[in-house]
Amino acid sequence: MTTASNDEVESSPGEHVPGASARGRDNGQLTRSTILRSALAIVDSHGVEGLSMRRLGEAVDRDPTMLYRHIPNKAELLDGIAEIVLEQLRVDASDQDWTAQLRMVAVDFRALALAHPNVVPLLVTRPLATPLAMRPLGTLRPLEAVLALLVAAGFTGVEALHIYRAFFGFLYGHVLNELQEIVERPEETDAVLRLGLHRLPLTEFPLLRGLASSLASYDGAAELERGLDILLAGLSTVLGVPDRVGRLPGSGAATVPRPAT
């Protein structure tokens, strides 16, 4: 995904900028939180490519140079946007039913993705540009909480990490697929026309065109549940249902008591 330079994208004259001056001040003080909330509003409305420091300065009613006192560069601004979205993702590490908790996390993650579709590329691809230990702490807390949930359930630390990677890999793929399910011509009743599949050569894409009805009736929530059924059943089969207390990576001693039932 491409991002704009500081001044590459500007507001058009008279254009409304989300989070304008009334939201740009917290008791008269400019704060990092205020800046990030306004930046998120801009990304929600205009996409990451529509975010520039000049436009952000207009949104918080400050000279853009003042923003650098709180956020030194565009990269940290993008990391901060991802962080304030992921901070809304709650993981109850004390839940005794790890599969039920992962299902709730998945539903909440999907809801965040649908609420902030323009931020999804930052959540999915932005970490590729930043080493794990250098990412904002707020983006790492879901990882730590999921690991704690699984270790407390009885998985080893290594097993917990495998589950986390498979789980979030599935979630990232799901939300990217769901957000791509765009209807070209919603006024049409024929599924092929609604999705624009009539543009595809029939002889080259017979199966895809034949699935037009299923594509047009895509149910993201149902697809998520179906995928979780497959993923969690597979993980339980491969790793086994834990019947031991949790252990940290490389440790043979129990470190996290398994919750009482």
**Three-state DSSP class for residue 256:** strand
Interval 45-91: pLDDT, tens:
999 999 999 999 999 999 988 999 999 988 899 999 999 999 999 99
Q: Walk me through the domains of the chain, giving residue ranges and CATH numbers.
A: 21-72 (1.10.10.60), 91-181+218-239 (1.10.357.10)
> Which pLDDT belongs to residue 70?
92
> Which pLDDT belongs to residue 109?
97
> Which pLDDT belongs to residue 7?
39
Write the CA distances from 135 to 52, 80, 105, 180, integer angstroms: 22, 10, 21, 27
Give the separation between CA 143 and CA 133, rounded to whole angstroms: 12
Tell whether the model's pLDDT for residue 103 goes beyond 60: yes
Interval 121-150: pLDDT, tens:
999 888 777 788 888 888 899 999 999 999
Interval 182-235: pLDDT, tens:
777 877 778 888 888 888 888 899 998 888 888 888 899 999 999 999 999 999
> Phi, psi (5° rounding) for residue 190?
-80, 125
Give the separation between CA 141 and CA 149, rounded to whole angstroms: 12
Mean per-residue pLDDT of the chain? 82
Q: What are the start-end ranges of the H helices in the chain?
A: 32-46, 53-59, 64-67, 74-86, 98-115, 120-125, 137-153, 157-179, 191-194, 206-210, 212-216, 220-239
**Residue 111: CB atoms within 10 Å:** 13
> Which pLDDT belongs to residue 88?
94
Residue 259 binned pLDDT confidence (cut-offs 50, 70, 90): very low
Q: For 155-164, 177-186, 202-211, which range has the lowest pLDDT when averaged over its residues?
A: 177-186
> In the predicted model, what is the mean pLDDT of residues 171-182?
89
The answer to whether the CB of 64 falls within 8 A of the CB of 108 is: no
> In the predicted model, what is the mean pLDDT of residues 161-172?
96
The more confident residue out of 214 and 35 is 35
